[in-house]
Chain A
Amino acid sequence: MKPITRREFTTLMGVGAASMLASPALLGQTKPRVVIIGGGAGGATVARYLAKDSGGLIDVTLIENSKQYTTCFFSNLYVGDVRDFASITHSYDALAGMDGLTVVNDLATGIDRDARTVSLAGGTSVPYDRLVVSPGIDIIYDSVPGYSEAAAEIAPHAWQGGPQTELLKQKLDALNNGDNIVMVAPPNPYRCPPGPYERVSMMAHMLKTRGFSESTISIIDTKPKFSKQGLFTEGWEQNYPGVIEWLPPEIHGGIIAVDVNAGTVETDLDTFEGALLNIIPAQKAGSIATDAGLANETGFCPIVAESMRSTIDENIFVIGDASIAGAMPKSGFSANSQAKVAALNIRGDLTDSRVFPAKYANTCWSLIAPDNGVKVGAQYAAGEDGSIVSTSSFISETGESAEMRAATYQESVGWYDSITTDMFG
Chain B
Amino acid sequence: MHGFIFARFTVALLSLAVYASTFASSHQPGTSAKNDAAASDSTLDTDEIERVLALSDDLAYGEYLAGECASCHSDHITEGSNVPVIQGLPATLVVRALLAYRSGLRTNTTMGNVASSLGDEEVAVLAHYLASLAPQQ
- Which of B10-18, B37-45, B60-68, B128-136 faces chain A? B60-68
Q: Are A418 and B73 in touch, CB under 8 angstroms?
A: yes
A401-B29 Cα distance, complex, nearest whole Å: 8
A333-B82 Cα distance, complex, nearest whole Å: 18
Q: Are A417 and B74 in touch, CB under 8 angstroms?
A: yes
Q: A218 at the A/B interface (Cβ < 8 Å)?
A: no
Q: Are A411 and B71 in touch, CB under 8 angstroms?
A: no
A14-B98 Cα distance, complex, nearest whole Å: 55
Q: Are B81 and A417 in touch, CB under 8 angstroms?
A: yes
Count chain B residues whose beta carbon lies closer than 8 angstroms to a beta carbon of A.
31
Query: What are the residues of chain B within 8 A of A356 when measuring CB–CB?
Result: 61, 64-65
Count chain A residues whose beta carbon lies closer than 8 angstroms to a beta carbon of B.
40
Instruction: Kindly count the residue-residue contacts between A and B in the assembled complex, taking CB atoms under 8 Å apart.
Output: 104
Chosen A-B contacts, 22 in total, with CB atoms closer than 8 Å, are: A354-B60, A359-B65, A359-B117, A361-B114, A375-B109, A378-B113, A379-B114, A379-B117, A392-B113, A392-B117, A394-B113, A400-B30, A402-B30, A404-B31, A410-B26, A410-B81, A411-B110, A417-B74, A418-B73, A418-B74, A418-B78, A418-B83
Q: Are A392 and B116 in touch, CB under 8 angstroms?
A: yes
Q: Are A417 and B78 in touch, CB under 8 angstroms?
A: yes
Q: Which residue of A lies closest to B83 (CB)?
A: A414
Q: Are B68 and A359 in touch, CB under 8 angstroms?
A: yes
Produce 1/0 per residue, B95-119, CB < 8 A to A. 0000000000000011011101100
Q: Are A407 and B71 in touch, CB under 8 angstroms?
A: no
Query: What are the residues of chain B within 8 A of A354 when measuring CB–CB?
Result: 60-61
Q: Are A49 and B82 in touch, CB under 8 angstroms?
A: no
Q: Are A413 and B80 in touch, CB under 8 angstroms?
A: yes
Query: What are the residues of chain A within 8 A of B60 when measuring CB–CB?
Result: 354
Chain A residues at the B interface, C-beta cutoff of 8 Å = 49, 53, 333, 336-337, 340, 344, 354, 356, 359, 361, 363, 375, 377-379, 381, 391-396, 400-404, 406-407, 410-411, 413-415, 417-419, 421-422
Given contacts A403-B30, A413-B80, A417-B78, contact A337 B117 (CB under 8 A): no
Smallest CB separation, B67 vs chain A (Å): 4
Smallest CB separation, B63 vs chain A (Å): 8
Smallest CB separation, B115 vs chain A (Å): 10
Smallest CB separation, A355 vs chain B (Å): 9
Q: Are A411 and B64 in touch, CB under 8 angstroms?
A: no
Given contacts A394-B113, A413-B81, contact A333 B71 (CB under 8 A): yes
